[in-house]
Amino acid sequence: MTALFKRTSILDEAFASVVQEVQRSLVVIQSGRFGAGAGVIWQSNGLILTNFHVVAHGHVRVIFADGREFAARQVLHEPGLDLALLQIDATGLPAASSADSRLLRVGQLVMALGHPWGQRGMVTTGIISGLGSVQTNEGRTIDIIRSDVSLAPGNSGGPLIDASGAVIGINTMVVGGDLGVAIPSHVIAGFTDQILAPHSFRRADSHAIV
């Protein structure tokens, strides 16, 4: 790794620029009178992805970083995957890019975005600790991403992103023990494909630093 970085400040700049870009796609989700969770803009036409348990109390509102607030309706949910897809009446939104989680490697750098303990737009970083599977309550086996990123209530439903800023999973607090667990993007694609056109993973190329 010695020759990779002429200046370590290049790393700092890269972290900041990747995070800044993805934070545009991060939203706060409120449901009922319960504490806020996180969500990510999945499609620019108003589709928002989050955890099912975050919206389980009904009366769902989506709040953007700039303060705009929208009522949301649930268009798809799957409690076993702890996933829910919401629709808000807005278009031209900055959708997050995504990468195929079947290509992930243990050791890869990842970042989690969310609102742990109500701290809006917080970023925590770490690596992929393991790629494994768990059994859901319904006895279904699903792939999961384990990471050593520090997560807390309020991270639920927020994106786990790779070094390019592409979403590789949705952080969830429901399954898993001591490790941060995320539902991988390829499982998410299988979920959204039920009502949307097959998901094509697209990576942002905008983070190359010259």
SS3 call for 120: coil
* Min CB(202)–another protein separation in Å: 15
* Min CB(4)–another protein separation in Å: 5
Comparing CB distances to another protein, the nearer of 134 and 196 is: 134
Cα separation, 112 vs 127, whole angstroms: 10
Catalytic residue flag (residue 143): no
Catalytic residue flag (residue 12): no
Cα separation, 114 vs 109, whole angstroms: 17
Comparing CB distances to another protein, the nearer of 65 and 106 is: 106
Under the criterion CB under 8 A, does residue 63 sit at the interface with another protein? no
Per CB under 8 A, the list member of 92, 105, 198, 200 interacting with another protein is 105
Under the criterion CB under 8 A, does residue 108 sit at the interface with another protein? yes
* Min CB(158)–another protein separation in Å: 19
Cα separation, 121 vs 144, whole angstroms: 24
DSSP state letter for 81: G
DSSP state letter for 208: -
The type of residue at 178 is: D
Contact in structure between 52 and 77 (CB atoms under 8 Å): yes
- Choose, from 25, 97, 156, 164, the residue flagged as catalytic: 156
Distances (CA, A) of 19 to 27, 35, 66, 102, 115: 14, 24, 16, 23, 14
Rounded to 5 degrees, φ, ψ at 91 are: -135, 170
Catalytic residue flag (residue 53): yes
Contact in structure between 181 and 196 (CB atoms under 8 Å): no
Q: How many residues bind another protein (CB under 8 A)?
A: 32
Under the criterion CB under 8 A, does residue 182 sit at the interface with another protein? no
Under the criterion CB under 8 A, does residue 127 sit at the interface with another protein? yes
- Which of the stretches 9-17, 24-32, 38-46, 191-199 binds another protein when contact is defined by CB under 8 A? 9-17
Interaction site with another protein (CB under 8 A):
1, 4-5, 10-11, 14-15, 17-18, 105-109, 126-133, 146, 148, 162-164, 178-179, 207-209
For the annotated catalytic residues, the residue numbers are 53, 82, 156
